[in-house]
Structure 1
């Protein structure tokens, strides 16, 4: 570059040489310019965001009768939000945070752009990547009802420990008002069940760990058409429901929504009707049939140890044809990445006839888990295929699928995931 600059200067004069050197400096130090610009603009951005925050506060203050429900959890919060919105809409005018608007700025945008003066209920999904994130949202919206769907091994790379996950998710419960506040929490997770709640009324629910739960889902039956289940209440009543959804996780999420609806006075017949009409949330145990007679279970959104296990339980119950799982494994699990993916492989061996492992990132751990199960159980005969990309997995499926087969897509499957 120096030589070429010298040649340019010799041929075209000093002015051109200076311009070339200046351009070279701009190129070499562009990252410093960007960092400086970001640093200089931070106060401006903060001032603008504060204005948005104050405007959202003003709107919420103008609606004192608005019932605000917070929903958080390591997983299940988005589905629970959708299910609760559908059920409450039978009786109230409801607004929920759209999509994944589960940060403070996402909630602010929802309040400023979507919330209407006539809305009666506002359902706020609350996500977090670090301690304090949920408290920040609560300080803005002041929920009176809080749902904690799960505390599990999700985002351990940022939280570092499950105790920090628990502390953060329960920021929602700790923010509820002592007068009229209601906590609805899922005892199926140890780090929910072992967390005492004394600041507000607390209702516990469960599917698999009913010990201290007031509401329990029982008699769960899956079919390709959906699920039937019964809700047992603290008063001893048994309420039967049918839904198009499948999977224990979806039953659990529905249970939380049913409890809140009952506590808000939605009639039982309206709850039952809404549960039967709820559409499956895309990429979260979404089930459909192809014209060729193949059942597709789409669980491709952010797999986690609990959710993947439940998805495999659903796959195991599909016995009309072969059971096939397509997965790259689980991510964002910190130091337990290899261990949990090996456990995932062992569960695959107990639930699937064919496993297609996509990419290299978790391949060894998953395949080792499958093989370990085969060594322990001679009846386990899961056929394993490894492919480099999702496109390759689709080509393989095209050559082996038969009518009656069921395919489970577990976790995100972009070609860029190595």
Structure 2
């Protein structure tokens, strides 16, 4: 019977560990974010507090086995329903290795018969030692990346940061420059120091001439650390807005964190949005743009370059992309690109990406999670003559009241509002008078819903995207 009890304990601890590492990975392994900014706090009750409470009060062998079986089944079902499950990285493997070691060590402890103590010890052991090991691994990888950058003295580096739009600006710089310079950019939305270090070590080849790095922040000092590590010659600071206010508290604090990008000892050129308040210290790119026209077919704008007005157009959606393109054009000029044109510009995936299918116009704006950008997308699609359907969870990180503003705009433009997360349901429905409201919190049913409730001639906008842990 003791073997069965140890096995049951082991399964229980591994199941709890799976939930823990999932939450940590979703929130960039920041324990404060997992505790204080977790968007599904009830999950902590269901998958941490309740199971631990049950094994603490039921010390009968049969009950404990039953609790373990139920907990395992519930967690498997929960994980199956997720659209973003834990990715089994080397870090995750190390966490589970330490969890197993911690479990094994406690078997020899005088209190090993206490199921609750055994579980808590194993988990704390895994968290402490995996954190320590990651710091050691990070130092080793960081030194490796420093050596690689030192071996490339002629490499030009552009750092891009903003409250929103930084990934688009990064991609546009790449599209413009890559035809003339051997160019590399950080992949996808990788924007943390560890992600950048990994990219340098794994992907940056020695013949690259221009490296474009995206920098993000959740804490004060994050961007400062990145800027001092890569020491860019060119910095682009895009629009400062209310994204991540819950982390920084005020717009001034958000601005101060973004301006940490200037802390490079090789900085030669700063290109910034007027919202940075850097008028005398940077090229203010949005003030050089005029005559913007945006439709569902593209964007057109004029821009003053070296005192000469030039006309540009691109097969992109959204008026704001004219300003993102302007920032990219100036960055490329600063990097030495001679032939500035937008022929190679591609739509950024999931950012106002137009898809035409079965007579329907689908606008994928699922990576746009800020108020200004979302309102701009609503203005853009308002010209469409057919029925308009929006699927959105609202704004996840933007401060109080922003979803009420969305509610007003949605009711003015759309015929059907499909709410895809319960998180902002009350604010999103507050001012809906005209639009039909549909609640679709189970993403697995989205395809079925769209198939049976949309028709040729409809426009469907995916506005922001909430993983199922939101």
Query: TM class, shorter-chain normalised?
Result: 0.7 to 0.9
Task: Give the deviation of 1:75 after TM superposition.
Answer: 1.1
Partner of 2:365: 299
Written as runs of structure 1 = structure 2, the 5 A alignment for 1:69-218 is 69-175=158-264, 177=266, 181-187=268-274, 190=275, 192=276, 194-195=277-278, 198=281, 202-206=282-286, 213=287, 215-218=288-291
Written as runs of structure 1 = structure 2, the 5 A alignment for 1:319-330 is 319=385, 321-330=386-395
Partner of 1:281: 348
Q: Is the 8 A contact 2:296 2:380 kept in 1?
A: no
Distance 1:32 1:204, change over 3 A: same
Task: Give the deviation of 1:219 after TM superposition.
Answer: 3.3
Task: Give the deviation of 1:80 after TM superposition.
Answer: 1.1
Q: Is the 8 A contact 1:217 1:255 kept in 2?
A: no
Partner of 2:9: none
Separation in 2, partners of 1:2, 1:143: 60
Distance 1:388 1:126, change over 3 A: closer
Distance 1:112 1:392, change over 3 A: closer
Q: Is the 8 A contact 1:217 1:252 kept in 2?
A: no
Partner of 1:231: 303
Q: Which runs of 5+ in 2 are unaligned?
A: 1-57, 63-106
Q: Is the 8 A contact 1:342 1:365 kept in 2?
A: yes
Q: Deviations over 1:260-280 (max 9, x none)?
A: 123333234xx32xx233222
Partner of 1:357: 419
Taking only aligned residues, the RMSD between alpha carbons, in angstroms, comes to 2.6
TM-score with structure 1 setting the length = 0.81
Separation in 1, partners of 2:371, 2:338: 36
Aligned match for 1:221, one of 277, 294, 297: 294
Separation in 2, partners of 1:204, 1:261: 15
Task: Give the deviation of 1:314 after TM superposition.
Answer: 1.5
Q: Is the 8 A contact 2:285 2:327 kept in 1?
A: yes
Q: Which runs of 5+ in 1 are unaligned?
A: 6-17, 207-212, 372-380
Distance 1:318 1:176, change over 3 A: farther
Q: Is the 8 A contact 1:222 1:228 kept in 2?
A: no
SS at match of 1:407: strand
Q: Is the 8 A contact 1:248 1:310 kept in 2?
A: yes
Distance 1:138 1:403, change over 3 A: same
Q: Is the 8 A contact 2:163 2:241 kept in 1?
A: yes
Q: Is the 8 A contact 1:322 1:404 kept in 2?
A: yes
Total equivalences in the alignment: 369
Distance 1:263 1:41, change over 3 A: closer
Separation in 2, partners of 1:45, 1:360: 35
Partner of 2:336: 265
Aligned match for 1:253, one of 307, 320, 324: 324
Partner of 2:125: 36
Distance 1:205 1:331, change over 3 A: same
Separation in 1, partners of 2:130, 2:335: 45
Q: Is the 8 A contact 1:220 1:229 kept in 2?
A: yes
Separation in 2, partners of 1:413, 1:65: 41
Distance 1:47 1:386, change over 3 A: closer
Partner of 1:62: 151
Task: Give the deviation of 1:344 after TM superposition.
Answer: 0.5
Task: Give the deviation of 1:413 after TM superposition.
Answer: 4.2
SS at match of 1:175: coil
SS at match of 2:206: coil
